[in-house]
Structure 1
């Protein structure tokens, strides 16, 4: 059986990310040596909107940390150590860059379950990561 030593969980703070976090707990259960990183990417458009609205940077940071609480709580309840990386940019690109920089064994990402037409019209971070990643990607629906 494949023993994962490092996992990157891409989280947008949605219920889909929480479901993906629950799968990560299952994957790491019983392991003692592992590296677990949560990555939350603030896309450029959201960052520009916040600046335009003159949102206080401290308030913005607290809001982003609050979004991650459900995922963090899942890992804390399972007694899994983790780190958090908050970054800005194109979400798919930043997820892949972080996975390469940290040399993780697997990327885990939740999917909203867009149908083919929605995905074609809207695109999806999940789809881009699956198509371009240079390592295994587990998509949780």
Structure 2
């Protein structure tokens, strides 16, 4: 089992299979870091509508509540981190810090059964991360 798992999470995640796969990867002493990147585009759009970063984070946390509930039910220790920047670059940089054993991603493109290709974030992380990457479709 993996001790430190980096879970690159998008707030629109509909793929519940990724949570089941994470549950299979954890063991005693494991911790999952839920890593959500606020892109500059999202930040600019939220500011234009009068929503500032703290409010944006609160809204994202609300949309992730089902994930927190699942982890709590499964007794999976987790922490949530928000960062600003480019999701592709930020995830690769975080994965390559040396603090993690594996990166887990939900392939958003695969959530739509008609699409079989990797999304751009999944593709870049898989290509550039120095640790194993699990992409769940």
Both structures adopt the same fold (TM-score exceeding 0.5):
yes
Q: When the two structures are superposed, what TM-score results if normalisation uses the length of structure 1?
A: 0.83
Specify the alignment match of 1:44 in structure 2.
Answer: 40
CA–CA separation in structure 2 for the residues paired with 1:140 and 1:96 = 17
- The one-character-per-residue Cα deviations of 1:18-74 (angstroms, maximum 9, x if unpaired) are 42122101111xx21222111111111111111122214442221011122121111
Q: CA deviation at 1:137?
A: 0.3
Specify the alignment match of 1:15 in structure 2.
Answer: 14
How many residues of Structure 1 are paired with residues of Structure 2 in the alignment? 131
RMSD of aligned alpha carbons: 1.7
Q: Contact conserved, 2:30 with 2:76, CA < 8 A, in 1?
A: no
Gaps in structure 1 of 5+ consecutive residues: none
Specify the alignment match of 2:56 in structure 1.
Answer: 60
Q: When the two structures are superposed, what TM-score results if normalisation uses the length of structure 2?
A: 0.85
**How do 1:1-141 and structure 2 match up within 5 A?**
3-13=1-11, 14-16=13-15, 18-28=16-26, 31-101=27-97, 103-112=99-108, 113=110, 114-116=115-117, 124-141=120-137
Stretch moving more, 40-49 or 54-63 = 54-63
Write out the 4+ residue segments of structure 1 that deviate beyond 6 Å after TM superposition: none
Which structure features the higher share of helix residues? Answer: 1
Gaps in structure 2 of 5+ consecutive residues: none
